[in-house]
Amino acid sequence: MFDFSKTDTLEKVITVDFILSRISEEAIFRQYFPPFEIGPIFHSPFREDKNPSFGFYRGASHIKASDLAREENWNCFQFVMKLYGIGFPEALEMIANDFGLMKEGKIQETKPTLSKSLSNKERVIKSIKVITCPFNKEILDYWSQFYITKDELEINNCFNFSKYAVKKDKEVSILTHFDPIKTAYYINHEGKSYWKIYQPLSDKYKWISCIPNQIPYGLDSLPYASDTLLITKSNKDMIIGRKFHTDVIGTQNESLQALSLIKDLPYKRKIVMFDNDEAGKKAAVKVKNELGFETVETDDKETKDLGEYIFKYKPQKTKELCQNLLNT
């Protein structure tokens, strides 16, 4: 029979909520990264970077550590996991030990629901309506790391916004709370308007989109000034590519479907530049075999795309890279 007289000695389970009820996210980050401060940019504790690319930002619901060059971000628990190469229960135990909380409870073996909400997903919605507004300094500072200017954003139909409405089936939701670093991508194709919300540092949804996979960025603004079309895998890479070559387009992803409107464009050469990672290389091989497109990649294994490349090497070397790849 259960002895009710001993209930006051039962251990509390140590969870994310338990820890955060006693110490702050700021305290956890500062414990394991003493220079912690929201705003400044530091050298990454996870990799060598010639240019500082690591910082802390206050998101909609949590403080995040962010690798700005690679668009990766972590909450304070994920940060400890990555920093020490440990699992989730071990990170909880380390934090609880270091802050003297272990005497209050034991570690829960199952992963709490908070961590599930921190995965970067893409939400595809039936339709999106956006209320645009001028860019602020914080957003322009984010884009300036990739040498993308306010004029280049606006020329390529990228906007800041104050609110947006999403429609899924018959349900409409108006959203006014989002990450401070945000941009809305706009495409008008065959008289229809499409939007994609981009929140690069979001701890929940990096993209919210109603753009069909087959509609690329920049299709309607191609100048057809060259016999060579450079095909990148994102709007950001397209904008960077257009600094150095006239005819550049950006796909929604690295699938064959994303190239369906591109394959018949009247270019002598079509050159695909997908991510310089395992998934991107596999996709490039498939495109080469099935569509006959040429494929290229960056000359640095640590930079997977033009965004990371220009962040690391600056515009002049990125220009030289593009010229070399296109003249191969």
How much is the pLDDT for 109?
35
**Assigned token pair, 87:** 């699992």
Domain match, 189 and 295 both: no
What is the C-alpha to C-alpha distance for residues 58 and 99, in angstroms, rounded to an integer?
23
Domain match, 235 and 313 both: yes
Q: Residue 273 in contact with residue 309, Cβ under 8 Å?
A: no
Residue 104: pLDDT band by 50, 70, 90 thresholds? Answer: low
Is residue 4 one of the residues assigned to a domain? Answer: no
Domain match, 270 and 324 both: yes
**Assigned token pair, 301:** 């294994």
Q: What CATH number is given to the structural domain containing 99?
A: 3.90.580.10
Q: Please tell me the pTM assigned to this model.
A: 0.66
Q: What is the mean pLDDT of residues 188-194?
A: 89
Range of the domain at 218: 213-328
CA dihedral (80, 84, 87, 92) positive or negative: negative
Q: Which of the residue ranges 53-57, 210-214, 228-232 has the most confident prediction, judged by mean pLDDT?
A: 228-232
What percentage of the chain reaches a pLDDT higher than 70?
86
Closest by alpha carbon to 58, among 69, 66, 49, 50? 66
pLDDT at 34 over 70: yes
Q: How many CB atoms lie within 10 A of CB 276?
A: 20
pLDDT at 265 over 60: yes
Is residue 285 one of the residues assigned to a domain? Answer: yes
Computed over every residue of the chain, the mean pLDDT equals: 84
CA dihedral (42, 51, 311, 47) positive or negative: negative
Residue 214: pLDDT band by 50, 70, 90 thresholds? Answer: very high
Residue 13: pLDDT band by 50, 70, 90 thresholds? Answer: low
pLDDT at 105 over 60: no
DSSP E strands: which ranges in the chain?
A: 12-14, 41-42, 54-58, 63-67, 72-74, 105-107, 121-124, 127-133, 158-168, 171-175, 183-189, 192-198, 205-209, 228-232, 248-250, 269-273, 294-295
- According to DSSP H, which parts of 174-305 are helical? 235-241, 278-291
Domain match, 40 and 78 both: yes
Q: What is the mean pLDDT of residues 87-96?
A: 85
Domain match, 23 and 105 both: yes
Domain match, 129 and 199 both: yes
Domain match, 103 and 125 both: no
What is the C-alpha to C-alpha distance for residues 183 and 156, in angstroms, rounded to an integer?
12
Domain match, 233 and 288 both: yes
Residue 6: pLDDT band by 50, 70, 90 thresholds? Answer: very low
Total residue length of the chain = 328
The number of distinct structural domains making up the chain is 3
Is residue 64 one of the residues assigned to a domain? Answer: yes
Instruction: Tell which of 186, 211, 236 closes a domain.
Output: 211
Q: Residue 294 forms beta bridges with which residues?
A: 271
How much is the pLDDT for 208?
87
Domain match, 200 and 221 both: no
How much is the pLDDT for 88?
86
How much is the pLDDT for 124?
52
Domain match, 188 and 240 both: no
**Cα 229 to chain centroid, rounded:** 25
Is residue 1 one of the residues assigned to a domain? Answer: no
Model confidence over 106-139: pLDDT tens digits? 443 333 222 232 234 455 567 888 989 999 999 9
Model confidence over 147-189: pLDDT tens digits? 999 999 999 999 999 888 887 766 677 776 778 899 999 999 9
What is the C-alpha to C-alpha distance for residues 319 and 32, in angstroms, rounded to an integer?
39
Instruction: Tell which of 114, 149, 167 closes a domain.
Output: 114
How much is the pLDDT for 53?
85
Q: What CATH number is given to the structural domain containing 234?
A: 3.40.1360.10
Instruction: Tell which of 211, 239, 267 closes a domain.
Output: 211
Domain match, 228 and 275 both: yes
How much is the pLDDT for 118?
29
Closest by alpha carbon to 110, among 128, 87, 94, 127? 87
Closest by alpha carbon to 16, among 131, 84, 119, 110? 110
Domain match, 24 and 93 both: yes
What is the C-alpha to C-alpha distance for residues 119 and 90, in angstroms, rounded to an integer?
20
Q: What is the mean pLDDT of residues 224-232?
A: 97
